[in-house]
A and B are shown apart, each in its own frame.
Chain A
Amino acid sequence: MYEIVEKENLADNVKLFGIDAPLVAKKAKPGNFVVLRVDEHGERIPVTITDFDAKKGTVTIVVQEVGKTTKKLGLLTEGDALLNFAGPLGHPSEIKNYGHVVCIGGGVGIALIYPEVRAFKEAGNTVTSIIGARTEDLLIFEEKISKYSDKFYITTDDGSKGRKGFVSDVLKELMDGEEKIDLVMVVGPVIMMKIIAELTKPYGIKTVASLNPIMVDGTGMCGGCRVIVGGEAKFACVDGPEFDAHLVDFDNLMARNRRFLDEERMALEG
């Protein structure tokens, strides 16, 4: 059992959990994820690691309530425990000094881009961060991310905070501006990652996306998470989850993520 030692409501339906998992905390790196199971009847879901503290032995995750499992998770509080919590899984992000890195996080992806922002900054990069959400209420981790960013932009779809519009609008302006961009790193909804990839491609800017396919085991034994990268099937859990965004078949990923839509709805209602 893995005890919840911290819980915070970040936004409507977005919750942060600090989990007591010393072995995972000791090995975790930006870009890694865990597979967790809430209880005996539960399913295994992958969740990106948002933060980790090897000394305290804790791992932080941020979860958006979108279905039965994440809602079940949302009901838990400090002192409760998760039945299973395995990791850290996947390849860590390739962190080095690229020069100027633009980090883009959308929705709950904002929390997931945070460890990258920090690591890129600590590796000596100039970091520009763009975070976006539908409305102001859904913006999270603003202070944390701005602290490690040389430039920091906020967008909301409805203009309730920061710029009205999308993260891609800001990126477009940056790319057309004076400053050279050496790497774009994006975490968010598949459609957002697809748009960003299409935007940077003509500019020839290296772009990395952290993919979020459906997973079961998370250790490479089932291929449920397979994605098409450069025309080849890759297992996101062991070959990724980060890939060259210009090579990813995002339409296939979107279709595959709809595989169990009916069942997911049924589970939620049942």
Chain B
Amino acid sequence: MAEAEKKKKKIPKKTHEMPEQDPLERIKNFGEVALGYDFETAKAEAERCLQCERKEGKELCIDGCPVEIDIPKFIKCISEERLDDAVEILKDKNDLPAICGRVCPQEQQCQKYCTLGKGKGRDPVAIGRLERFVADYDMEKGYSAPEYITSLSKKVAIVGSGPAGLTAAGDLAKLGYDVTIYEALHGSGGVLRYGIPEFRLPKAILDKEVGYIKKLGVKLETDVVIGKTILVDELLEEFDAVFIGTGAGAPMFMRIPGENLNGIYSANEFLTRINLMKAYKFPEYDTPIKVGEKVAIIGGGNVTMDSARCALRLGAKESTVVYRRSEEEMPARREEVEHAKEEGVVFKLLTNPVRYLGEDGNVKQMECIEMKLGEPDASGRRRPIPIEGSEFLMDVDTVVVAIGNTPNPLVPSTTEGLETTKRGTIVVNEDGKASIDGVYAGGDITTGAATVISAMGAGKRAARAIDEYLKAK
């Protein structure tokens, strides 16, 4: 007995690996790269959890989760083989766990605070992988969710069906409100639909997660461009409150010579064609995409990695990430940088394009300049400085500009009295309340481009605030 207990307490230092598609195989398809834990592995990984108790002043995994999932509790359920209970605990806080388990940067959130991971040579518990395992189990079962029925007469409009809007909608529906989401595109999910590729987040999974939100009683109206088709003022006549979650979807360009040559895409255009329009299945699908042999992707974030990996899958011979700082400053998830490297993406660091050269209107070459790192700037990262006289030419036939996005101005520019910052973000208080009574906002439209999970956290807080506002009204 004592022997057995001892054995049980011996915790593996390393996390259980998740099976993945072989790099050489997976660059030929858009199928999911990470294949997920099976039950045995999930249970073994769950058993690594120390089940820390919450104490004043001590930060635990839960504190790193923007939607406040009771992490130790759902993990305990896995190790005790009570998967339905695990589902219930997850879904109490998070309506989109199959998505979060896949795309959250856990290393900067929940897993960063894991006590086990703080030990020397020890990995934190793979919380994201376990979340994904439980969510996928629930999905395969066809969802264990109870059907909610709208019990309150009050109506809430949600503008945008990205992670912020979906989360706010789900939470409000569970509280009994009559919720309608308005989406400008024909497909729901925002960046989850048009931005993140199939190989990281299969759209069939997104469809199921959105289906779950609808099951909670939420109505979804696509093809409605708020600010054009309907104004926010008009929504306020029909609804008791409005939540704006329109994201940061306006692409930035560098405004350097030659940027309008053919073959140069914004990452948003490149990824929208591929993900939303399924151009990787052209001509079965009607939307075309053109990728040459030498593709350069400008930037260092997740969008850069997604674009670089898509280019390879579309047949590019060389897919090169061109980034003006060094690898250390790259904002992309570690895991995605590793995946990109395994697949053969080349990294040209401390390099910045200065102009594009074309022929017959098509991009042929890119003039770059080498950079060195100076003192840290406002973002805390070391500022890149061009090295004079270091210009060189790079042959390219396709360029994807992935240097970031700014808030979509459609709603702010058409809503009188809606206060915005110089950067175009909507001004809100900590509850997400905007400058107009009854109007709330959250996600990238209030913060600028950030993460899926922080948008979900904002949706959650706004839903709570809307509930309080409507109860007091």
Residues of A within 8 A of B (CB): 23-24, 27, 37, 41-44, 68-69, 83-89, 216-217, 219-224, 226-228, 232-233, 238, 249, 252, 255-256, 258-260, 262-264, 266-267, 270
A221 adjacent to B286 (CB under 8 Å):
no
A68 to nearest B CB, angstroms? 6
Give the chain B neighbours of A252 by CB distance below 8 A.
Answer: 260, 361
Q: In this assembly, does B249 line the interface, its C-beta being within 8 Å of a C-beta of chain A?
A: yes
B290 adjacent to A263 (CB under 8 Å):
yes
Q: Please, how many angstroms separate the alpha-carbon atoms of A13 and B325 in the complex?
A: 54
Q: Please, how many angstroms separate the alpha-carbon atoms of A238 and B251 in the complex?
A: 13
Contact of B290 among A85, A88, A216, A260 (CB under 8 A): A260
Chain B residue at minimal CB-CB distance from A254 = B361
24 contacts between A and B (CB under 8 A): A23-B224, A27-B230, A41-B284, A84-B223, A85-B223, A86-B224, A86-B229, A87-B229, A89-B225, A219-B184, A219-B185, A219-B410, A220-B408, A221-B251, A223-B251, A223-B266, A223-B269, A224-B269, A228-B260, A256-B260, A256-B262, A256-B361, A260-B290, A263-B289
B178 to nearest A CB, angstroms? 19
A255 adjacent to B361 (CB under 8 Å):
yes
A27-B286 contact, Cβ under 8 Å, with A84-B222, A216-B277, A221-B251? no
Chain A residue at minimal CB-CB distance from B409 = A220
Residues of B within 8 A of A (CB): 184-186, 222-225, 228-230, 249-251, 253, 255, 259-260, 262, 265-266, 268-269, 272-273, 277-278, 282-290, 360-361, 408-410
A216 adjacent to B273 (CB under 8 Å):
yes
Chain A residue at minimal CB-CB distance from B282 = A263
Give the chain A neighbours of B249 by CB distance below 8 A.
Answer: 220-221
A220 adjacent to B410 (CB under 8 Å):
yes
Q: Please, how many angstroms separate the alpha-carbon atoms of A220 and B406 in the complex?
A: 11
Q: Please, how many angstroms separate the alpha-carbon atoms of A224 and B269 in the complex?
A: 6
Q: Please, how many angstroms separate the alpha-carbon atoms of A238 and B287 in the complex?
A: 21
What total count of A-B pairs have CB within 8 Å?
120
B228 adjacent to A233 (CB under 8 Å):
no
Give the chain A neighbours of B185 by CB distance below 8 A.
Answer: 86, 217, 219
A221 adjacent to B250 (CB under 8 Å):
yes
A37 adjacent to B186 (CB under 8 Å):
yes
Q: Which of B184, B222, B225, B285 has the most CB of A within 10 A?
A: B225
B410 to nearest A CB, angstroms? 6
A219 adjacent to B260 (CB under 8 Å):
no
A24 adjacent to B229 (CB under 8 Å):
yes
B256 to nearest A CB, angstroms? 10
Give the chain B neighbours of A259 by CB distance below 8 A.
Answer: 262, 290
Q: Please, how many angstroms separate the alpha-carbon atoms of A83 and B286 in the complex?
A: 14
Give the chain B neighbours of A223 by CB distance below 8 A.
Answer: 251, 253, 266, 268-269
A262 to nearest B CB, angstroms? 8
Q: Please, how many angstroms separate the alpha-carbon atoms of A219 and B250 in the complex?
A: 9
7 closest A-B pairs by beta carbon, nearest first, are A255-B361, A263-B288, A222-B269, A43-B286, A221-B249, A86-B223, A43-B287
Q: Please, how many angstroms separate the alpha-carbon atoms of A23 and B228 in the complex?
A: 10
A257 to nearest B CB, angstroms? 10
Give the chain B neighbours of A260 by CB distance below 8 A.
Answer: 288, 290
A86 adjacent to B184 (CB under 8 Å):
yes
Q: Please, how many angstroms separate the alpha-carbon atoms of A266 and B408 in the complex?
A: 34
Give the chain A neighbours of B265 by CB distance below 8 A.
Answer: 224
Give the chain A neighbours of B410 by CB distance below 8 A.
Answer: 219-220, 238
A221 adjacent to B268 (CB under 8 Å):
yes
B255 adjacent to A233 (CB under 8 Å):
yes
B452 to nearest A CB, angstroms? 17
Q: Please, how many angstroms separate the alpha-carbon atoms of A88 and B226 in the complex?
A: 11
A220 adjacent to B230 (CB under 8 Å):
no
Chain B residue at minimal CB-CB distance from A267 = B283
Known contacts A23-B230, A238-B410, A270-B283; can you find 18 more A-B pairs with CB under 8 A? A41-B278, A41-B286, A43-B288, A44-B277, A86-B184, A86-B223, A87-B225, A216-B269, A219-B185, A220-B409, A221-B251, A222-B269, A223-B269, A233-B253, A238-B409, A249-B260, A259-B262, A263-B288
Chain A residue at minimal CB-CB distance from B277 = A43
B272 adjacent to A221 (CB under 8 Å):
yes
B229 adjacent to A68 (CB under 8 Å):
no
Q: Please, how many angstroms separate the alpha-carbon atoms of A68 and B285 in the complex?
A: 11
B295 to nearest A CB, angstroms? 16
Q: Please, how many angstroms separate the alpha-carbon atoms of A83 and B222 in the complex?
A: 11
A249 to nearest B CB, angstroms? 8
B57 to nearest A CB, angstroms? 44
A235 to nearest B CB, angstroms? 8
B250 adjacent to A226 (CB under 8 Å):
no
Chain B residue at minimal CB-CB distance from A2 = B223
B303 to nearest A CB, angstroms? 13
A222 adjacent to B268 (CB under 8 Å):
yes
Q: Please, how many angstroms separate the alpha-carbon atoms of A82 and B410 in the complex?
A: 25
B319 to nearest A CB, angstroms? 20
B298 to nearest A CB, angstroms? 14
A264-B224 contact, Cβ under 8 Å, with A221-B250, A221-B268? no
Give the chain A neighbours of B251 by CB distance below 8 A.
Answer: 221-223
Q: Please, how many angstroms separate the alpha-carbon atoms of A157 and B389 in the complex?
A: 55
Q: Please, how many angstroms separate the alpha-carbon atoms of A89 and B414 in the complex?
A: 13
Give the chain B neighbours of A24 by CB distance below 8 A.
Answer: 229
Give the chain A neighbours of B250 by CB distance below 8 A.
Answer: 220-221
A254 to nearest B CB, angstroms? 8
Q: Please, how many angstroms separate the alpha-carbon atoms of A31 and B229 in the complex?
A: 15
A203 to nearest B CB, angstroms? 28
A69 adjacent to B361 (CB under 8 Å):
no
Give the chain A neighbours of B273 by CB distance below 8 A.
Answer: 216
Give the chain A neighbours of B228 by CB distance below 8 A.
Answer: 27, 87-89, 219
Give the chain A neighbours of B287 by CB distance below 8 A.
Answer: 43-44, 216
Q: Which of A44, A217, A226 has the most CB of B within 10 A?
A: A217
Q: Please, how many angstroms separate the alpha-carbon atoms of A24 and B184 in the complex?
A: 13
A68-B286 contact, Cβ under 8 Å, with A27-B229, A86-B186, A233-B255? yes
B229 to nearest A CB, angstroms? 5
